[in-house]
Structure 1
Amino acid sequence: MSSLDDRQPGSGYWRSLQEYAGTEEFKALCRGEFPEGADRAPDALSRRGFLKIMGASVALAGLAGCRWPRETIVPRAYRPSGIEPGRPRAFATAFALGGDAAGLLVTSYEGRPIKIEGNPDDPISRGSADALAQAAILELYDPDRSRHPMQREGGARKRRDWQAATAAATAMARPLAARGGRGLHVLSEASASPSLDAQRRRFLAAFPEARWHVWEPLNHDHAYAGAALAMGRPLRAVPSLDKARVILTLDADPLSGSPSALANARDWAAGRDPKRAMNRLYAVESHFSITGSMADHRYPLQASRIEAFALSLAAELSRRGGDGGEAQRELRRALGVHLSHEFEESFLSALADDLEHAGRGALVLAGPGQPPLVHALVALMNAQLGAVGNTVRYVEPPAGEETDQLGSLRALTRAMAAGEVQALVMLGGNPVYDAPVDLDFGGALDKVPGSLHLSLHDNETSRRAQWHLPRAHFLESWGDARAWDGTHYTVQPLIAPLYDGRTPGEVLALLGGDAAPQAHAQLRESLQGALGGDAETAWRRLLHDGVLADSRFPAASAALDVDALSAAVAAKPANGGYHGLELELHRDHSLYDGRFANNGWLQELPDPISKITWDNAATMGPDTAAELGLAHGDRVRLSAGGRSLDCAAAVVPGLAHGTVALALGYGRSAAGAVGDGAGFNGYALRASDALHAVGGLAVESLGGSYLLAGTQDHWLIDKVGFEGRQSRIHELVREGSLEEYEANPDFARELDEHPPLVSLWKEFAYEGHRWGMAIDLNSCIGCSACAVACQSENNIPVVGKSEVSRGREMAWIRMDRYFQGEPENPSSVVQPVACVQCEMAPCEQVCPFQATTHSQEGLNDMVYNRCVGTRYCANNCPYKVRRFNFFHYTKDTPEVQKLANNPEVTVRSRGVMEKCSYCVQRIQNTKIQAKNEGRAIADGEIQTACMQTCPTKAIRFGDLNDESAQVRALHGDHRAYTMLAELNIKPRTAYLARVRNPNPRLVSTTHEQRSHS
């Protein structure tokens, strides 16, 4: 890689370090029309690999999804009630993850769920859904899901039926019942289900000596411990970002990563309108997160040093506070010792001033990986600022919540190793894979005489247990769940269990001697008190709405324990500054903790910062990489705590100096055909005393390189060469400061100055509908929920790592991520790009067969049967948004298997070009419905898949000829512009320029240009 010093610093935008440095490889890429190898025929190996992926992730979906409602075989004149052929229906349910949940609406087509969206009646999602929830459709139809109970006898595993499994479970529990359940232990995932908690209480009443344990590799132990330290008991913090004027995140990513992040993202975006008072976001973090990419000021800092930063900030804020009593003065003295000058005084002082000025409109958040003291200090600062009760409130954790999961798992493992566990029932999870490596959970499990594991897949833990039971998917199950703030949802099945799976509640009932448990009855019983007098009517209303009104947790009293805080701060030694290399282990944006590793949609979803697909990598900043003598893709060995892991290095801008970050969830050995072997297992370096930041890291080059299939330099807009592209890139993505906007609201439009544009022929007059879209770069956070929504809605195939590396990914919407500034700490902006439906479309002008043509409403349509694959249209598209089918993806798919797809969207064949259609099927459906009802189409009634799912509502769609339409107003906004308008192609998609709200005191300081180490 060329030296970064070869390039003169400037204010230009860049998408990769190769572009920043102007390497010869990047310049060659700019000269080419398509990525190298994009026109190369597949070899036999890559085709086999593709067929394996397609067979596992998409092709076999229809086989599982063709289950119809049960009927008698007597002929009927009418279909069953509720089924209207060809007409989809939506049902409310919920998606739970890690003790959190959000409401969903699932579209069912003739008894088959085909699309997941957010529930508009849910106060958390409000119609949005994240990428993980939407990809659950693919998980439901995964052919690698477990289909039968399995028993391990000696070294062999044998297939059994449920009768044998039920007998074995009963025999496992019966002898322990006489001892009150002593020796019987249960290990479950964190659950957000009140009905499962009721089952847990009944189970422990029947087995009073039994023990219940909970483990999630990504848990909130430190947050609960910090709350207990600061307020005397473990409380749950619920933020309200819509009320916050100044926000500080300490190694936190509140805009992504959990179901409740949908509400956080929406509330944060509500404060980013420059026409009103804008909020300001500060991020102090070790690696580039989605929240960090949206920050007005970002301060890279090693994860282990954020505690010292929090102590310094708390000391600065406390120093400015009133005198208070003796306890307050003692706390101030203890904090004063930690007022460090190792952090830039200008940044710390300006941040403290900003928070103090915001007062009750301030909000400080800490990430779950930070130690308890940081969370306690956050509670202290929020209380001192007056934010409690306004921007953050505290609630009691739900009944049954385990607030020390690591301690719970450690106690279980210790009991297993000591021979105290006679029977272990594991309800979900995968502790053999994701438990801290020093606990050796797999070795302890081998010592348990009777073990049973319930899971969707026959995974690593299943294969070490004596019995494995197939679990029912949540789209096949009855149940309920609570959001982080307590909002209560029902979970209802959209389809009968495809593989005869069972829910955790049903397995618990089996252990208690119930041979035929019914999850529906269990749910009704647990909700009896909440349904009120007319229980049947309330039940039906609850199923319809999917959410119980006014069900969030009430605020709890949260008085600070100043004496405990003073003692904790006084006992903390002063931080000695930079301590060398450090490994940060973090949640993966796509695979979470690894449970979604067999989902092809998520594996192929580019990381929002590195843009790597199908892999994780040891990411490091360019300065750290230079010190280690490493380049992007080098093979390396990470060593810490007497353990090592061989993996690949990736050089990514913005990481704190001395930080090597590795996403968890990869390196699976029993995920399934899609996930096995993808990436590197970060859990191999994760010990119980260092779950987040691992010190004493050594990095050794192994020589050679590893292919990382990234998309950051694919589909470069406007292939006019490197210098020409650099001169135009500021016109593609536009941004300015709030001060610049207030001085000149039209700053974004002024870049469109060009000679008068003249068409060579008469332009078409659109008298009817004229569909258009607007995308607000001020709200888009780059979460990629729109990309997964588009993939699900439009039957877009997965192509695999090898094909992505050749530039053959098929996604209709891509997230262009640009950096600006120095690589050690650049700012970032993201721009979704799909077909912009040009009115004077260049693609149409070169197609020799009119396979791409214009509709009467201005849509740039594709006629697939006319396309012969010349690819002239892709050549002439200045936005590079057309995708070519190099393979006949459905050639080997039986007809019945195709039922997994959206039946309203054509499945394309080999040799055909495809692209975004503005979800024309949704447009047509709404037009037909409005015509049948004799009315006009209301503004906002038609929602494209990307618009519908966007958590920040950054995407708007509608009729540009409708004077009252929101999209028309947005096209006329001061910030609105169209990309490449000077080409006179008249795109229908407009962008609204991003406006940052920097602190005026920090605009010219050096912390915005360099790392802090």
Structure 2
Amino acid sequence: MKKHWKSLAERKNGSDKPVEKSIPKGNLEQMLDIFENGNDKSQSNRRDFLKLCGYSLAISTVLASCENSVQKAIPYLIKPEEITPGKANYYASSYVNGSDYCSILIKTREGRPIKIEGNDLSGVTHGGTSARVQASILGLYDTGRYKNPLSGDKKLSWNDLDKTVVDQLNKLKDNKEEVVLLTPTIYSPSTKSVIEGFLKVYPNLKWVQYDNRSASALLKANEMCFGKAGISDYRFDKADLVVSFDADFLGNWLMPVEHIRQYAKKRKLSDGNTNMSRHIQFESRMSLTGSNADFRIPVKASEHALLIAQLYNEVLKIKGKETYTIATASADIVELAKELWGNKGKSLVVAGDNDLNIQLVINALNYELENYGNTLRTDKQILTKQAIDSDMEDLLSELKSGKVKALLSYGVNPVYDYYKGEEFGKAIEKVPFSISLDLAPNETSVLFKNVAPDNHFIESWNDVEAKSSRYSLMQPGIRPLFDTRQFQSTLLAWSGSDLDYLKFIKKYWEENFYALQNKYPNFTTFWNHTLQQGVFEPSTSVAKVQFKMPDITNVMAMAAQKVESSGLDLQIYESVALGDGQMANNPWLQEMPDPISKICWDNYLNISPKQAKEMELELGDVVELNNGETYPIYILPGQAYNTLAISLGYGRTVCGVVGKNVGKNVAALANLKKEHRSDFVSGIEIKKTEEKYDFAMTQTHHSMEGRAIVREANLDEYKKNPKAGNDHKHKYKNAGIYKEPEFPNHHWGLAIDLNACIGCGACTIACQAENNVPIVGKKEVIRAHEMSWIRIDRYFSGDENKPGVVFQPVMCQHCDNAPCENVCPVAATNHSSEGLNQMIYNRCIGTRYCGNNCPYKVRRFNWYDYTQADSIPNNLHDPAGLTSDLSRMVLNPDVTIRAKGVIEKCSMCVQRIQEGKLNAKLKGRKVKDGEIKTACQQTCPSGAILFGDLNDKSSELFKVTSSGRNYHLLEEIHTLPSVSYLTKIRNKKS
């Protein structure tokens, strides 16, 4: 059996030896030291320990009995027609945050948005979401948002602000002074129309779009190859062979929610299918995409250009075309070229580098492989990134020269995330008139003289065209909580229009989109239907763009130049959780572990194991770069030798209490190369300091212990034997001392396909939102007090410098022979007649016997009153800020808010099960297969999780559990779990 390991320390020590973990001592540890050692620094003894225990228990009892607050329920005097108390309403909408997009449903209860689901009707995202989409609901209730218009620190009415702004804009127009509107890429058709109208009213105004994670080089390359700037539609579901050069398409590159679904679809082995795509990844840092590859090659970012040029040259050789004079390719590149040619028209080559030369060669390579029109479509384009990096350089130059007399900024934060952010900040302060139209204070908005606060997207109307002819609508799930006004309405007001934005959208859609369909006889019916569905995807015929091969002689020569540099290469990447840092004040995302390192609440410098050994560096050592900045070290298996990597999104200085000063801002480490932002820099030197740093890591313990918890095999083996990699079956009939359980009605269960699970973590945030799971903060994570009901275990295997990676979601296994149920002295945990392991919170007295007896370690103990369920103020342990009535509005009323001192764990979303059963009962029928979905299943963009009734022999779940790939965790101990897994299959060459 292949040996798997979670950390380098575990790999070194072996599974039989515990891994030392540095944990700062809290009150509990101090008390244990007193008890075990007899004396501490204050000469305390065992008697003092018992006194302290007794005091803490007594004072908790007194506070709990004295300070229970009175909660009042206010009934509706006149009930709104659309609201039925206790029943959820869903509003089809769209999530937009910069280039992040998803078609969604907003779940509301009694007028409160509490959860976001994916929209199954979307032809782009197909019901999937990401962790950031799930967590965005929390931003609605962020008390750190702007609450009203401001002029300096002075509150204004909207009328006063509008008058001031219009007077200033008219004065500047009369004097023909330059005004700039700075926004992210706008891919809303009606918003573009609003901006165009605004530009007509103020012809002296210039519109600049800025993407801090731009695709500027890709846009320029496509303009040279097709005569039109745009991003082609990548079809990973059509590709039999995917070759990626540092394109993290499953993590952050372009449209990951769509790419994940396509990728997983091509790699699922079901219904007798034995074919799956093959994925080869070249990269320096172990990315989420690289960790899922069949074959991953660690290379320096500076070597990408040469490797791509050599690959292109080898394909030209195979085709018998004239080649370029460059360095001879390695045997691996020659073999890869042959494999690509064998899959011509069914392959896909992508690169994440923001480098024009690289993108031009990639385009030429895909053209020679006949991929355009098959795995690459130019008639359908991705529209979420349209900004050109050089435009931002020109703007900074104009700001510094004093040419710009007024600056309007919306949805961007260049002072924080632009590589010349400090210069940008100083230039903004010199602008005579400036106004921010942002949602919340940030490093840029606080420098503006006026603020016209925007609505949260859940309070807004809008439309979106994330891909060509794929439209979706955004509608509010609640009225604005504060005195804010959405950006588009503000521009309309300053343009002198008397239309509100909703009327403007409807007018725009009637004029532009109504004629694209013939199903509805009038616009009102068409509008209402589209609003209800959330999407409108007409069948439009778009002329295919012809590929024109640019002269790449010089490009190939430049790409083939060997980069000579001393020192290390440093790559800046985007965090899967926090992205570019806009959502840094979101505690759910801060506490979401990085998929690879399993570290939360921090960014850090990744270094290769080989480099760490040479420099005698250990986990948590602090090093100093040659720019004077210091960073803690994480030794990342798979990191390319002589390279470093660090994530963006941290180091916010103007932010809410959650995200302020968490980690370090590294945007200034980026640079501009040939008019395009580059996120890697060479010539970095590091030296070890004497400092040590504690990481909040959620996965440092042993869990495999030599057992077959993760099972995997190669595709060739699977074709020969459907049970390949799964030969560890333990079938013990009636092995227990108890009678075999029977479930006469339903027997609920889950199956997780390890081949489809990519480890993105979206399910963990969906579970958190659905089940009111609290976050605990960095200090408590370090003490292993995290509360997440579903964790994603990450296992390495093989060589530490070129490891394989497998992800395995683990939640309560709902064992039919549950060890936890036998040891509870108060029967707080028991088994239902439908196969669910239940928790009766009211009975639980916190012995934690069940947690100790659980072999899967999935039960969570409430150490503190994180959600104030005990009504005792406890701000010290409330990093989410869920102490105000506003913040608590996000809590799901269908799920009990657990009190301090009780055990909690996955309930398999029992509230959803009950709702599904009741709905079926009202209709006089049985529950249909697939009708009930758990929160983790519903949000999973890859479709890796399947929930259903194991008693239903015709259900998809029963079919999956009957597969040769199906197995249970720790079958040998006969706990009879209701959660099962399908083995991981890799498409590796034998």
What is the TM-score normalised by the length of structure 2? 0.90
Residues 12 and 930 (structure 1), Cα distance of their counterparts in 2 relative to 1, 3 Å cut: same
Residues 573 and 381 (structure 1), Cα distance of their counterparts in 2 relative to 1, 3 Å cut: closer
Within 5 Å, give how 1:433-832 maps onto structure 2. 433-437=416-420, 440-514=423-497, 518-528=500-510, 529-532=512-515, 534-550=522-538, 554=542, 556-562=544-550, 564-572=551-559, 574-576=561-563, 579-639=566-626, 643-689=627-673, 691-714=678-701, 716-717=702-703, 725-728=704-707, 731-753=708-730, 758-832=735-809
What CA deviation, in whole Å up to 9, does each residue of 1:800-831 have, x standing for no partner?
A: 00000110000000000000111111010000
Once the 2 structures are TM-superposed, how far is the Cα of residue 179 of structure 1 from its aligned partner? 4.3
Residues 932 and 430 (structure 1), Cα distance of their counterparts in 2 relative to 1, 3 Å cut: same
- d(CA) in 2 for partners of 1:37, 1:553: 65
Match of 2:55 in 1: none
Residues 578 and 247 (structure 1), Cα distance of their counterparts in 2 relative to 1, 3 Å cut: farther
Match of 1:60 in 2: none
- d(CA) in 2 for partners of 1:438, 1:78: 53
> Does the 8 Å contact 1:235/1:396 carry over to 2?
no
What CA deviation, in whole Å up to 9, does each residue of 1:524-563 have, x standing for no partner?
A: 122122023611111101100111122688363131324x
- d(CA) in 2 for partners of 1:365, 1:575: 21
> Does the 8 Å contact 2:586/2:658 carry over to 1?
yes
Match of 2:876 in 1: none
Match of 1:48 in 2: none
> Does the 8 Å contact 1:213/1:409 carry over to 2?
yes
State the AA in 1 paired with 2:317. R
- d(CA) in 2 for partners of 1:761, 1:726: 27
> Does the 8 Å contact 2:492/2:501 carry over to 1?
no
State the AA in 2 paired with 1:917. S
Once the 2 structures are TM-superposed, how far is the Cα of residue 950 of structure 1 from its aligned partner? 0.7
What CA deviation, in whole Å up to 9, does each residue of 1:111-159 have, x standing for no partner?
A: 111110100100122111111111111011111111122333xxxx333
The DSSP-based 3-state class of the residue aligned with 1:212 is strand
Match of 2:240 among 236, 245, 248: 245
The DSSP-based 3-state class of the residue aligned with 1:27 is coil
The DSSP-based 3-state class of the residue aligned with 2:257 is helix
The DSSP-based 3-state class of the residue aligned with 2:452 is strand
Match of 2:374 in 1: 390
Within 5 Å, give how 1:776-925 maps onto structure 2. 776-889=753-866, 890=868, 891=871, 892=873, 893=883, 898-925=888-915
> Does the 8 Å contact 1:583/1:695 carry over to 2?
yes
- d(CA) in 2 for partners of 1:244, 1:894: 50
1:203 has 2:202 as partner: no
1:350 has 2:335 as partner: yes
The DSSP-based 3-state class of the residue aligned with 1:749 is coil
The DSSP-based 3-state class of the residue aligned with 2:580 is coil
- d(CA) in 1 for partners of 2:491, 2:905: 49
> Does the 8 Å contact 1:487/1:553 carry over to 2?
no
What is the TM-score normalised by the length of structure 1? 0.88
Residues 281 and 888 (structure 1), Cα distance of their counterparts in 2 relative to 1, 3 Å cut: same
Match of 1:164 in 2: 160
State the AA in 1 paired with 2:359. H
Match of 1:12 among 3, 17, 35: 3
What CA deviation, in whole Å up to 9, does each residue of 1:65-124 have, x standing for no partner?
A: x999xxxxxx98752221111110111001123345221011111111111010010012
- Deviates further, 842-851 or 20-29: 20-29
> Does the 8 Å contact 2:461/2:475 carry over to 1?
yes
What CA deviation, in whole Å up to 9, does each residue of 1:623-656 have, x standing for no partner?
A: 12223332211112223xxx44222111111111
> Does the 8 Å contact 1:315/1:339 carry over to 2?
no
Match of 1:177 among 173, 179, 183: 173
State the AA in 2 paired with 1:433. Y
The DSSP-based 3-state class of the residue aligned with 2:169 is helix
Once the 2 structures are TM-superposed, how far is the Cα of residue 665 of structure 1 from its aligned partner? 1.0
State the AA in 2 paired with 1:130. S
The DSSP-based 3-state class of the residue aligned with 1:108 is strand
Once the 2 structures are TM-superposed, how far is the Cα of residue 261 of structure 1 from its aligned partner? 1.7
- d(CA) in 2 for partners of 1:468, 1:989: 52
Give unpaired runs (5+ residues) of structure 1. 1-9, 44-65, 69-74, 324-328, 718-724, 1001-1013
Match of 2:931 in 1: 941
> Does the 8 Å contact 1:439/1:688 carry over to 2?
no
Aligned-residue identity in percent: 36
- d(CA) in 1 for partners of 2:472, 2:434: 32
Match of 1:419 among 395, 399, 402: 402
Once the 2 structures are TM-superposed, how far is the Cα of residue 587 of structure 1 from its aligned partner? 0.9
The DSSP-based 3-state class of the residue aligned with 1:451 is strand
- Deviates further, 924-933 or 439-448: 439-448
Match of 1:213 in 2: 208
Once the 2 structures are TM-superposed, how far is the Cα of residue 474 of structure 1 from its aligned partner? 0.6
Match of 2:279 in 1: 281
> Does the 8 Å contact 1:614/1:678 carry over to 2?
yes
- d(CA) in 2 for partners of 1:23, 1:971: 33
Match of 1:111 in 2: 111
> Does the 8 Å contact 2:135/2:589 carry over to 1?
yes
Match of 2:980 among 990, 1009, 1013: 990
> Does the 8 Å contact 1:194/1:482 carry over to 2?
yes
Match of 1:297 in 2: 295
> Does the 8 Å contact 1:29/1:35 carry over to 2?
no
Residues 311 and 897 (structure 1), Cα distance of their counterparts in 2 relative to 1, 3 Å cut: closer
What CA deviation, in whole Å up to 9, does each residue of 1:652-710 have, x standing for no partner?
A: 11111111101011000011100001011111322334531111112122321112111
> Does the 8 Å contact 2:364/2:549 carry over to 1?
no
- d(CA) in 1 for partners of 2:382, 2:932: 39
Residues 366 and 896 (structure 1), Cα distance of their counterparts in 2 relative to 1, 3 Å cut: closer
- d(CA) in 2 for partners of 1:38, 1:610: 28
- d(CA) in 2 for partners of 1:815, 1:703: 33
Q: How many residues align?
A: 926
Give unpaired runs (5+ residues) of structure 2. 33-71, 516-520, 874-882
- d(CA) in 2 for partners of 1:733, 1:25: 18
Match of 2:131 in 1: 131
> Does the 8 Å contact 1:29/1:36 carry over to 2?
no
Match of 1:51 in 2: none
Match of 2:36 in 1: none
Once the 2 structures are TM-superposed, how far is the Cα of residue 167 of structure 1 from its aligned partner? 2.5
Once the 2 structures are TM-superposed, how far is the Cα of residue 196 of structure 1 from its aligned partner? 0.9
The DSSP-based 3-state class of the residue aligned with 1:864 is coil
Once the 2 structures are TM-superposed, how far is the Cα of residue 511 of structure 1 from its aligned partner? 2.8
The DSSP-based 3-state class of the residue aligned with 2:437 is strand
The DSSP-based 3-state class of the residue aligned with 1:969 is helix
- d(CA) in 1 for partners of 2:387, 2:182: 14
Match of 2:940 in 1: 950
State the AA in 1 paired with 2:685. A
> Does the 8 Å contact 1:38/1:807 carry over to 2?
no
Once the 2 structures are TM-superposed, how far is the Cα of residue 294 of structure 1 from its aligned partner? 0.9
The DSSP-based 3-state class of the residue aligned with 2:133 is helix
Residues 42 and 264 (structure 1), Cα distance of their counterparts in 2 relative to 1, 3 Å cut: farther
State the AA in 1 paired with 2:3. G
Aligned CA-pair RMSD: 2.5
Residues 979 and 746 (structure 1), Cα distance of their counterparts in 2 relative to 1, 3 Å cut: same
Once the 2 structures are TM-superposed, how far is the Cα of residue 455 of structure 1 from its aligned partner? 1.1
The DSSP-based 3-state class of the residue aligned with 1:750 is coil
- d(CA) in 1 for partners of 2:27, 2:809: 22
1:965 has 2:955 as partner: yes
> Does the 8 Å contact 1:313/1:339 carry over to 2?
no
Once the 2 structures are TM-superposed, how far is the Cα of residue 570 of structure 1 from its aligned partner? 3.6
The DSSP-based 3-state class of the residue aligned with 1:695 is strand
